[in-house]
Amino acid sequence: MRILHPILYIKNRSTSLFLRLLSGFLCITLLLSTLTLYSFTVSKQNVRKEIVKYNTLMLHNTMESYEKHFDMIKR
C-alpha cells in the first residue's frame, strides 16, 4: 500500500492551483487571440472591398467627365 501513496501524491500535486490558473489563463489568451485574428482578417477583407468599390466609382466618374469634355470640344 505504500507504493500507491507516492503515485496519489503526484496526482494531487499535478492539479495544483497554479497549474489550473495557468491553464485557464492560457485558454483565455488563446481564445482572445483567435478572436482578434478573426476580426483583423474580416476587417481587412472589408477594407479591400471598400477600396475597390471607391476606385471603381472614381473611374466611372472620371470616364463621365472625360465624355462630357469631349462632347463640349466637338461642339
Give me the DSSP letters along 40-71.
HHHHHHHHHHHHHHHHHHHHHHHHHHHHHHHH
Structural domain spans, the chain: 4-74
d(CA 6, CA 61): 80
pLDDT category, 14, cuts 50, 70, 90? low
pLDDT band for position 26 (cuts 50, 70, 90): very high
Question: For 22-40, what is the mean pLDDT?
Answer: 97
For residues 11 and 64, the model is more confident at: 64
Distance, CA of 53 to CA of 58 (rounded, Å): 9
Chain segment 38-74, per-residue pLDDT in tens? 999 999 999 999 999 999 999 999 999 999 999 999 8
Name the band, by pLDDT with cuts 50, 70 and 90, for residue 12.
low
